[in-house]
Amino acid sequence: MPAVSKGDGMRGLAVFISDIRNCKSKEAEIKRINKELANIRSKFKGDKALDGYSKKKYVCKLLFIFLLGHDIDFGHMEAVNLLSSNRYTEKQIGYLFISVLVNSNSELIRLINNAIKNDLASRNPTFMGLALHCIANVGSREMAEAFAGEIPKILVAGDTMDSVKQSAALCLLRLYRTSPDFVPMGDWTSRVVHLLNDQHLGVVTAATSLITTLAQKNPEEFKTSVSLAVSRLSRIVTSASTDLQDYTYYFVPAPWLSVKLLRLLQCYPPPEDAAVRGRLTECLETILNKAQEPPKSKKVQHSNAKNAVLFEAISLIIHHDSEPNLLVRACNQLGQFLQHRETNLRYLALESMCTLASSEFSHEAVKTHIETVINALKTERDVSVRQRAVDLLYAMCDRSNAQQIVAEMLNYLETADYSIREEIVLKVAILAEKYAVDYTWYVDTILNLIRIAGDYVSEEVWYRVIQIVINRDDVQGYAAKTVFEALQAPACHENLVKVGGYILGEFGNLIAGDPRSSPLIQFNLLHSKFHLCSVPTRALLLSTYIKFVNLFPEIKTTIQDVLRSDSQLKNADVELQQRAVEYLRLSTIASTDILATVLEEMPPFPERESSILAKLKKKKGPGTVTDLEEIKKERNSDVNGGTESTPVNASTVSTPSPSADLLGLGAAPLTSAAPPPSSTGSLLVDVFSDSASVVAPLAPGSEDNFARFVCKNNGVLFENQLLQIGLKSEFRQNLGRMFIFYGNKTSTQFLNFTPTLICSDELQSSLNLQTKPVDPTVDGGAQVQQVVNIECISDFMEAPILNIQFRYGGTFQNISVKLPITLNKFFQPTEMASQDFFQRWKQLSNPQQEMQNIFKAKHPMDTEITKAKIIGFGSALLEEVDPNPANFVGAGIIHTKTTQIGCLLRLEPNLQAQMYRLTLRTSKETVSQRLCELLSEQF
């Protein structure tokens, strides 16, 4: 039988819990629970009215069953009834049930709110406490709406009991966190700040939590809290350990309040008032001094509480980052902890030192601990502590110690835990690049990385080493020699084969003079690895072989023999087969000149942020736990913010408005319809257009051409008698690259040829385009190429404009076309089963997440073409998902730098009416809208 229960025992509950514990199997437990549920149900439904005690007991049993992990679908009403009981324990159980099993049933919420209102008004402090707890526990927007106005009044009223004030402060804090819009600032705020002076330390503690959160959002409004917090802190820190009586915890005066005050001060810069600032510095010094005093107790609670305050004080010192003396003292203190016998302290010291390392005042002081940290890496038994040590080494690394730190990390990598290897690899790669004075060191380091932890070397790392080798002439020969030597190892990692294949293909000629690495030896070495590699690596090696044909004509026939073998030409993999066929053909028919042009050395890569750095940053955010109520709030504000935007009808958007149309026509004589200018030329036009170097209105037909590119990436974007513009583009996740080809169709030079990309301000913030200017002279019949690097930051509606201005035979030409970079280009298809699809479909059921358009078919309604278009659009085409086989459904994810947006689409053709209905559901309103517009134009 159960342990003795205090207060009021519920015997029936104890027996039930006992029964459950005695169940030998899951089945027996479920059986017992079902029996109990049936019993409770019949009691609740029975004619006899239940007394309060029975109701409480049964509600409590239901709660127990729910907490065991079973579903409960009744009893809510009985629990609500308990709220209006006059008996404290009945009310308490009622509130507990409501808090745990929140139900958004609107009828119940009304009743619950009513009961809460009564209890708040009861002036009975225990009842008020229960009501406030319930509001805080549920914390929903509905609760906030109902009570956020009332609670500040309770908090600052003169006659409120201290315990109620504490509850009110924390309840308000909870509501402010989820629904700040319902908690308006007002004259209560200044009175809340003065609670910092309250006599009751419990009230001060609760108020400090509230003020800290409010001050983060409204720093101006709560500025006066700084001096109050400092004086309160000072009083605590200087008090004798017994002064605060019950608020002294294991000889540490008010540790919770101290930490909270130090936290509050971290919302602000160092105090401007010299007196306040001096007082604060004194406090911090006292805390640091106390750390050196002998402990007042051997208990871990004493040291934990004391050090908790110390670490928070150090956080504040780092936050202020203005007192070199304090920073160095903090660093020395942490240095002591690095060798403490408590694992927890070593862990925290390493973590805290990481932030100290980034301060200019303490960076050098942190560096003095390098040997201790390296030792921690070797001897710590807890992987998370070793991980912190790696982080700290990374943070303290600079030019002076990079070689040592990188060497130690590489050393550690050999035995490191699998869970952190990838991160260490990234860190080593970044440090090696950042602090490389000598790039041969860099190349050696990366090859070592691949040798030691090849499986953890992500693509970004080996891409990066190739980028660097290609961009730096001085290291190419060394790199070729080193990879050649590394490849000699009988077993080498596939990543090494990739790097080796690429580098020898580009720079193998630099070491071919040495008979030990003659062309044939290089080739045989690479080819000996070929059969052990995966398809992508083999594909890369085939490209290396064709580059060898160009670099080393003497082994051309050997390579041709390899390409010609059945295992290549008839390879089951299409990519390999195609490469073999094409390379073989290329090597046979192309003259050496053409071969040399086609296989010219790769041009240097444009300098950009290291892809590995980006990867490391990405690794840092592996997921979040977000409060549902906050999400609800964001959605609500979306609705409010979106009220002005009228629903977009696809047809009105893509058909130019009447005025745009007129302008388009007006521009015609200047652009496409312009007759090849005669020598007499229209002087007036000439002068006019030259002086006013304005952007031409969109060329006619630009919209149609634009629409054609929505579902494809290559083709001719624009053409008139003078100029042809072709596009070739590729997209991957949120990045893309577009090649624009400008062809001069005439036999005369174009002069001052300047293509410009124009993005509106709005578009600029969501789309990042980078390109280099092209040669201003385009010879007759010639073609110039321009590369545009594209990065999608966030979703966008418009398209960039490509404006081209040039002189042709004395006349000024000005052409504008829309560049088909559309949101759907950043689609990644997602395959899913029917069940998943409809489940997700249902999840996206908010009205603003859906966009629908019904429109007339503009093209013949051909199933195969439609399928191809949906795939071209970028989404996966899901077969056998829609119960109606005539419908098309698709799914995919739009990748932007900031977020990923899941998208589902459904297209329902109506052959009879020659109409379509298109429905888009995505997690973001603007995305649904834009995709719907774009896709509606395609059918």
Which residues are known binding-site members? 11-12, 43, 53, 57-61
**Touching other proteins, residues 415-454 (CB under 8 A):** none
Contact 834, 793 (CB under 8 A): no
Return the HEC string of 706-725. HHHCCCCCCEEEEECCCEEE
What is the nearest approach in angstroms of other proteins to the Cβ of residue 401? 26
What is the nearest approach in angstroms of other proteins to the Cβ of residue 344? 5
Torsion, Cα of 121, 123, 129, 135 (10° steps): 10
**Touching other proteins, residues 23-62 (CB under 8 A):** 53, 60
Comparing CB distances to other proteins, the nearer of 31 and 87 is 87
Contact 693, 774 (CB under 8 A): no
CA distance 918 to 907: 5
Comparing CB distances to other proteins, the nearer of 631 and 913 is 631
Check residue 14 for interaction with other proteins (CB under 8 A).
yes
Rounded to 5°, the CA angle 220-221-224 comes to: 85
Q: Residue 919 pairs with which residues in a beta bridge? A: 852, 906
Rounded to 5°, the CA angle 108-109-111 comes to: 65
Q: Among 204-212, 409-417, 665-673, 744-752, which window interacts with other proteins (CB under 8 A)? A: 204-212
Q: Among 304-312, 439-447, 540-548, 802-810, which window interacts with other proteins (CB under 8 A)? A: 304-312
Site string for other proteins, 370-389 (x = CB under 8 A): -----------xxxxx----
**H/E stretch holding 912:** none
Comparing CB distances to other proteins, the nearer of 84 and 137 is 137
Comparing CB distances to other proteins, the nearer of 240 and 589 is 240
Among 40, 62, 63, 541, binds other proteins (CB under 8 A): 63
Check residue 595 for interaction with other proteins (CB under 8 A).
no
Check residue 618 for interaction with other proteins (CB under 8 A).
no
Transcribe 393-461 into DSSP letters. HHHH--TTTHHHHHHHHHHHHTT--HHHHHHHHHHHHHHHHHT-SSHHHHHHHHHHHHHHHGGG--HHH
Check residue 745 for interaction with other proteins (CB under 8 A).
no
Comparing CB distances to other proteins, the nearer of 250 and 441 is 250
Parallel, antiparallel or unpaired: strands 888-895 and 876-878: antiparallel
What is the nearest approach in angstroms of other proteins to the Cβ of residue 159? 19
- The size of the interface with other proteins (CB under 8 A), counted in residues, is 85
Among 31, 74, 77, 87, binds other proteins (CB under 8 A): 87
Among 76, 174, 529, 818, binds other proteins (CB under 8 A): 174
Nearest to 796 by CA among 868, 736, 725: 736
Q: How many helices (H) and strands (E) does the chain have?
A: 43, 16
Tally the C-alpha atoms within 13 A of residue 868's C-alpha that lie toward its C-beta: 6
Comparing CB distances to other proteins, the nearer of 17 and 832 is 17
Contact 416, 385 (CB under 8 A): no
Torsion, Cα of 312, 314, 319, 325 (10° steps): 160
Contact 477, 443 (CB under 8 A): no
Site string for other proteins, 461-500 (x = CB under 8 A): ----------------------------------------
Q: Which two tokens stand for residue 28?
A: 């027996």
What is the nearest approach in angstroms of other proteins to the Cβ of residue 109? 14
Site string for other proteins, 257-296 (x = CB under 8 A): x-x---x--x------------------------------
CA distance 461 to 652: 47
Q: Among 299-307, 532-540, 674-682, 792-800, which window interacts with other proteins (CB under 8 A)? A: 299-307
Among 128, 140, 281, 361, binds other proteins (CB under 8 A): 140
Among 80, 116, 131, 136, binds other proteins (CB under 8 A): 136
Residue type, 874: G
Among 160, 179, 189, 209, binds other proteins (CB under 8 A): 209
Comparing CB distances to other proteins, the nearer of 380 and 703 is 380
Site string for other proteins, 220-259 (x = CB under 8 A): --------------------------xx-x----xxxx-x
Among 147, 222, 311, 806, binds other proteins (CB under 8 A): 311
Q: Which residue has the tokens 């990644």?
A: 828
391: left (phi over 0), alpha (psi -120 to 50) or beta: alpha
Check residue 301 for interaction with other proteins (CB under 8 A).
yes
Q: Among 129-137, 415-423, 456-464, 903-911, which window interacts with other proteins (CB under 8 A)? A: 129-137
What is the nearest approach in angstroms of other proteins to the Cβ of residue 886? 35
CA distance 442 to 431: 9
Check residue 167 for interaction with other proteins (CB under 8 A).
yes
Check residue 139 for interaction with other proteins (CB under 8 A).
yes
Residues 6+ apart with CB under 8 A from 485: none
